[in-house]
Structures are given as structure tokens and as C-alpha cells.
Structure 1
Amino acid sequence: MRHAPRETLARHLHDHAFAAVVLCGGYVEAGDTGRHWMEAGDVLLHQAWESHLDRFGRRGAEVLVLEIDDAAASRLSGRIADPDALVRLAERDRAEAARLMLAELGPKPSRPADWPDLLAQALNDDPALCLGAWADARGLRLGSVSRGFRQVFGMAPVGYRLVQRTRRAIAAVRATAEPLSFIAQDCGFADQAHMSRAIRRLARTTPAALRKAA
């Protein structure tokens, strides 16, 4: 995929897991797993039903997209030494290119975070987080936090928190045999019906169908 200089992709959702391998240029992605600064050689892994927005730099970017298994995306990000070799392999066998990419994925240096990144991480860690208490602890006004977070991530913290709860519920539905009512309570939903509506909005299917497919 080729993206023009200064291009912006509004927040969008992907139904399937995939890896984005940056071949040249760079961009910033802000989504369900936080904010990521991407440049040539970087790899970002995405699970199914993740959403994010992308802002491309002055050079634009060229990105190789490879389909992967959902479980493989748990590592999130990394770097590969030779993206050009990966492209050549992908021209012949995309599945083998994805396998090699995952096998050779090395660590990526971390980047200093500011408060929107810290809030996104806090909501990932605890979808029951009280936004008011979080803002007060850092001397920030809740209204300013909401506006600033939306500018970075394309949605308000309340909506982001609901997405994290829903993704956690989807994982539990697919991986366990726990009653749906228990999962709903454990993930912070008002009741099972509330959880089911949230899952249908995000994954466009029902908890029962997710469990049957898993």
C-alpha cells in the first residue's frame, strides 16, 4: 500500500489480524493498542477488530500488509533487518513471508510517552479506570483530557474505554467456557445484554457465534 505525503486515514476498523511492515517513509498510528511511531523496518501487528487512525509524514509511506493469525499479534510490534528481502519473498509466497517476518521480528526501542499515551495504556490495563480520578491525579481538567485525547486517538476516552472492555470480553468469550453473564460482569458491563450489544457493534456478530467459531 502506498500513502501520499501528509495523508491522514480517519479511524477505521479491520476485521482480520494483519502485520504492517513499513518499507519506506513513516507515519504515526493511534489506535486500540496505543500510539506508535513507525519508520522503515518497523512492524506493527494487529489483532482482529482493532481500529486506529494513521497520519503519514512528509514523505508518505509504503507499507507491506501481511495476513497473520490472531494469536501472533500479541507481540504487538518490532523491527526486521531486511524489509526488501521480505517483499521479494512475499511476491512469491505471502504466507511464507508472514512466517519469516514473525520468526525474525526483533525488539523495537521504546519512545517517551506523553499523557495521551499514558492514558491509553492505563485504559488498556484497566478498562474500569475512573477517568476523573486519573485526570485529578495528574492535575488535569477532565474536559481538557477528553478533548486532547480525541485529537490524538480520534475518539473520546469514554469510547476508548468501552472498546477496551469489549475487546477483553471478546477474548474471554473465544478462549473460555465461562458463562456470558460472568464475563460481562468481569469486564465491567452492566449486564450480559449490554456486553452483547457492544460486541455486535465492534465485531458485527454475537457472543454465541464468536464462541461457536472458536
Structure 2
Amino acid sequence: MSATPWVLGLTGGIGSGKSAAAERFAELGLHVVDADQAARWVVEPGRPALAQIAERFGPSILQADGTLDRGALRAVIFADAEQRRWVEGLLHPLVAQEIADSLAKATSPYAVFVSPLMVESGQSKVANRLLVIDAPEALQVQRTLARDGTHEQQVQAILKAQATREQRRAKADDVLVNDRDLAWLRSEIDRLHTFYLTLSGGQA
């Protein structure tokens, strides 16, 4: 066993089942680092990034309790690519540092780094091996609508902003097509986990 755990990158489009897969890895005792959680943490009240966002977009970007109104920010940056680039330029380095710090604390045989934008953001460089949770697009839309109660147009906009299934699969070491139920997904994660425990540095 190497002193530093190797890093499994876990990604998948919206509604693919990536979060359910991450939960199963956590249940199996693995150190899981979530890019979305890191992204939330860097814009907590009192952190400099939130002040900069409020300064640029005005107080309407904040909720009454002073926290970031994610829906309002999402609406602005999905409508304007330049604003999106500005927000990404501010947050990406902070999020990257947060992720690196958290991964460094891992003591499990390998760590799991979850990110919806692993391929698009270049975050896959952090991972030694990449697992893609894949699902047919119609199923992604159906699951997301059921879960978030959003409009189909918004789900389609998010799908367009994310890598295509083909782009993700092209980068993957392992692909899991999650078009069945949760019990099946969990059993597949267990199977992969058994395999991953045999790997050194993420490679066979």
C-alpha cells in the first residue's frame, strides 16, 4: 500500500446517478470529496468570493440571510457566457485548492473525487482513474425533473453546458451505464470497489 491513497474520479451528467454512486462509495468507507460541496463552501458567508460576487451582481444575488442565491446566480451565468467566465475564473482556483486540501486528508485505500464537470473543467487531471456513470439522455431528463422540479428547458440548458456522453466515455477508464434501479447500481459499485482494492495507484 502506498502512503498516499490514489484518487478515483467519479463523474456523470445531471441525473445520471453520480450522487447515488458517491453515497455507496462513502458507505463502503471511502473518503469522498465532492466538487459541488467544495464549490458551496468557497461561497459561504464571510468568505471573500461571496463578497466579490455580490459586488459584481448586486444584492439581489443574495438571499435574505446573506447566503448566495444559487438560482439567481445560475440564471445570470447561463444567460451570459462572459459573466459565467468571470464567475468560473474567480471560483475555480479556490475550489481546486479546497479539493486538494480535502483529498490530502484521505486515509482510505483510495479516495473518490466526485465532480459533474470533471471532463469539462480539466479536474480529471487530479484523478488517477476515471469512472463515468452514464445514462441515456431521456432518463437523465426524467430523473432530474422528478428530483429538482425544474423546467425541461433548464435541464436541457444544463445538459448542453456539460460534456456529451461520448466525450465523457472517451476519457473514462470505467463506464457504468445506470439505466436500472438503485439496488443494481449499488451492487455494481460494490463490484468495482472489490476490483479497485486490487489496484496500485489506480492502474491494474
The TM-score normalised by the length of structure 1 is 0.28
Q: Which structure has more strand as a fraction of its residues? A: 1
Structure scoring higher RCO (CA < 8 A, sep ≥ 6) equals 2
The TM-score normalised by the length of structure 2 is 0.29
Q: Which structure has more helix as a fraction of its residues? A: 2
